[in-house]
Amino acid sequence: METISQRAYQSFNGSFFDDINSYASGLISLVFNVLLIYSTSKIKTYTKSVRFSMYSMSILRLAFSITIILTCPAIIYSKSIKSLYIIKNGLILPPIVGNALLSLFVAFIVMSCNGPAVQYLQVANLLSSSSRKEISKTISIMPIAVVVTSLILIFFGYIPPFYEIHISSYLLEKLAEQGNTAFLIITVQLTFDPSNQSNTFQLLSQICTLFILIIMFISITIVIVCYFYIQKQMKIRFSVSSVSKKSQEQLNMALLLQFILPFVTIHIPFYIIVILPFFGIAGRILADQVLYLFCWCPAINPILIIIMVKNIQDQLLPRKLSRKLISTSKKVSQAQSKSRSVRIFHLE
């Protein structure tokens, strides 16, 4: 017991590579999201709704990264009691603090799925003939509403309850070895027995997982519908040779890439880690590998925006370097007039 009390760092996955991945992705995310906030504040052409949306998404990604750094989450799956455990690794923190951070970690995963859908709705609303500021404000607060709702469901459905429930013997062994730590419990079975008290918690866990799955499917549907709606509106509002149309097409491509990123780093890992065990398909090694992808979503997203949006590049790069890049880009486009570049464009 003395050895456990003196332990300053916990490693439930037996490898520090997972923790290094969490620290690296978190730090990169912190740097580039701060740069994105700074550059957005310097661009005067952005409307208040667009600016608010970019600020809120960047701040939420920053919070996501902080939870990743502080929790370094690991996964343990128990086939015997059909449960998935998300465990806090790294520096020892009080369990109540660890549970709060892990809850935020899962809530921000849901937020990352919802983010691209919100951005698509903003653009679709701007292109709509009946565009209203009230609708734009409502769309802007959607990520915050999703995070708050997720936190409420996670509190009742994933955080271990005050009453006694079955815990995996393997997890108990790990806790005895590494010391007490925070963890979330996700029930991964479709059956429900109301006569068993612990199954009340299982039902709440299933409701929470169902909510997350619904948000993911709704986000995918919104992106698909808005993508085609934006394409239709561009044909109506802009001429074939319009500069605004070309800029809008590039924006649409940027939005599509920002949807593909969370689909690869959030949707697919969630299906593998959480949904497949419901059908008796679970692989610890595969789950550990795809868990890495969760950590990189808030880091890669701002990098994509900075690379693709010229307005933001102008704020971050020195003017001389920015002019050189623009002139070089023009020379390349003139030499390859048949090719089309979607890397640099203005976001108005």
Q: Set out the domains of the chain in order of their start, with CATH numbers.
A: 2-335 (1.20.1070.10)
Residue pair 295/18 in contact (Cβ under 8 Å)? The answer is no
Q: Quick one: which of 127, 125, 129 has its CA closest to 117?
A: 125
One-letter amino acid for residue 222 of the chain: I
13-27, 252-266, 328-342: least confidently modelled range: 328-342
Q: Report the C-alpha gap between 71 and 274 in whole angstroms.
A: 19
Q: What is the pLDDT of residues 314-344, one digit of tens each?
A: 777 765 555 555 555 454 445 444 433 333 3
Angle between helix 95-127 and 198-237 (nearest 10): 20
Which residues 6+ apart lie within 8 Å of 224 measured at CB?
A: none
Instruction: Give the DSSP H/E element, type plus range, for residue 183.
Output: strand 183-187
Residue 337: what pLDDT? 44
Given a cut of 70, is residue 313 above it in pLDDT? Answer: yes
Burial 191-229 (b: 16+ CB within 10 A, else e): eeeeeeeebebbebbbebbebbbebbeebbebbeebbeb
Q: Report the C-alpha gap between 170 and 61 in whole angstroms.
A: 33
Residue pair 60/147 in contact (Cβ under 8 Å)? The answer is yes
Does residue 8 sit in helix, strand or coil? Answer: coil
Of 159 and 233, the structure prediction assigns the larger pLDDT to: 159
pLDDT class for 345, splitting at 50, 70, 90?
A: very low
Residue pair 39/75 in contact (Cβ under 8 Å)? The answer is no
Highest mean pLDDT among 111-115, 149-153, 293-297, 305-309 belongs to: 149-153
Q: Report the C-alpha gap between 187 and 278 in whole angstroms.
A: 8
HSE, side-chain direction, 13 A CA sphere, residue 321: 7
| Helix residue ranges, H only, the chain | 2-6, 17-42, 48-71, 95-127, 133-140, 142-157, 169-178, 198-237, 243-262, 268-270, 284-308, 310-316, 319-335
Given a cut of 50, is residue 90 above it in pLDDT? Answer: yes
Taking residues 121-150, report their average pLDDT.
Answer: 79
Taking residues 91-98, report their average pLDDT.
Answer: 87
Residue 31: what pLDDT? 92
